Amino acid sequence: MKQLSFSQYRQYACAALKHKMPESALNNSDFWTFAQADALFPLLWTSLNDSQKESAKAHLLHPMDERIFAADALRLRNATSRILRAYRDANIPIICMRGLAVSELLYPHAYLRPHTDIDILFDKKDLLMAKQVAGNVLQYNPLPAYPMLFKQGDIPLDLHIEPIGAERIKAWKDITPLHTEDFFKYATEGEIAGETAWVVHPRVILPYLCFHALKHSFERLIWLYDIALLAKQVHEQELWDEVLQGIKEYKLERPCYYALSYVHKHMNADIPAHVIQAIQPDMGMIEKRLFKRFMKHEVIPYLAERLFSRMLPSFSHRLEFWRETVYPEPEVRAQIAGGGCVKCNFIRTRLKQIGRALWAFSKETVYLIRA
């Protein structure tokens, strides 16, 4: 069996998402291993017919079926319902974010979009009460190194007072003016997990999802597929003008250009040409090459940091961003260290990351010179 690279997996997965599953992917264990790690397994598996499933089963490390996906999704759905009720009873408005929200609002069945934690956003003034509800009412236990993360069994509850994570890297506030107030400003009453909940307008959610995917250097294809489904909804509801206003208002043209270009080309997302043209950023020679590699399904090391630095308004802002990124606040250093001696483990981790970065940039320099 031919070994599959990650970029080849992405190419095959995009074809499969368009219901054109390549035969070479169907019978390749690497493909299914990548798909499981990428949270795409349920979506791809349920798209197969019975004969294709029988053919693929021999190549799966852990054969699965729809009942397992549905049972796990139901467990998280019940937990979500309980959380929504508890915060509603406490008169604390909350917004469900990312995997939880998109699984309920964009997918035909929630189990097709796995997610491992429950993220909620609320106003900073409600922080103390929100923590009390999580601990005293819901019986979720706080994790020592993560003051905003609570856990019950194997279900984490992640509390957020900032949608972009600016409490971790303050320089992110200079990248985008998107704040918690914008989510509530453009929210309407809807339903999530069978409970009344705030549902946020695509003019906020689409640029936010693009930002979040870039924040993780587009490492997971499922985040891009979320954006493709949301783009389909925007197109059907003729909301592109409002979404474009949101992208420009929050200064997130660059992450949206990358994400929307990818899903338009590889996932058949309905995105008007004028939208992509309107958000196309100015790119130098190096960034043009980065974008070309990204469009060829490559996961590029440290893409987030490299693009975020280009989105900052001045050189001094870039210096502060890199300082915070390399040497963040003590709380974040403790989380990166992962226990034990914080100073030793953090420095060891950072040295490894810097070494990998130098090696990746050296290879890119050679490719650039050859080009």
CA–CA separation, 357 and 306 (whole Å): 11
Of the candidates 321, 296, 320, the one whose C-alpha atom is nearest the C-alpha of residue 307 is 321
Contact call for residues 22 and 8 (beta carbons, < 8 A): no
CB under 8 A, 24+ apart: contacts of 175-182:
175/251, 175/308, 175/311, 175/312, 176/211, 176/250, 176/251, 176/252, 176/311, 177/249, 177/250, 177/251, 178/204, 178/207, 178/208, 178/211, 178/250, 178/252, 180/121, 180/122, 180/123, 180/124, 182/250
CA–CA separation, 300 and 304 (whole Å): 9
| Domain 67-200 CATH class label | alpha beta
**Helices (runs of H) and strands (runs of E) counted in the chain:** 19, 7
Provide the residue ranges of all domains of the chain, joining segments of one domain with +.
Answer: 6-64, 67-200, 201-300, 303-370
* pLDDT tens digits in sequence order for the chain, 371 residues long: 568 899 999 999 999 999 888 888 888 888 988 998 899 999 998 888 888 888 887 777 666 666 778 888 889 999 999 999 999 999 999 999 888 889 989 999 888 998 888 999 999 999 999 999 999 999 999 988 788 899 998 899 999 999 998 877 888 889 999 999 999 999 999 999 999 999 999 999 999 999 999 999 999 999 999 999 999 999 999 999 999 999 999 999 999 999 999 999 999 999 999 999 999 999 998 899 999 999 999 988 889 999 999 999 999 999 998 888 888 887 777 777 666 676 777 777 777 877 777 777 676 676 666 66
Longest dimension (CA), the chain: 63
Predicted TM-score of the model (pTM): 0.92
Helix or strand (DSSP H, E) at 159: strand 155-160
Radius of gyration of the chain (CA): 21
pLDDT number for residue 19: 87
CA–CA separation, 240 and 244 (whole Å): 6
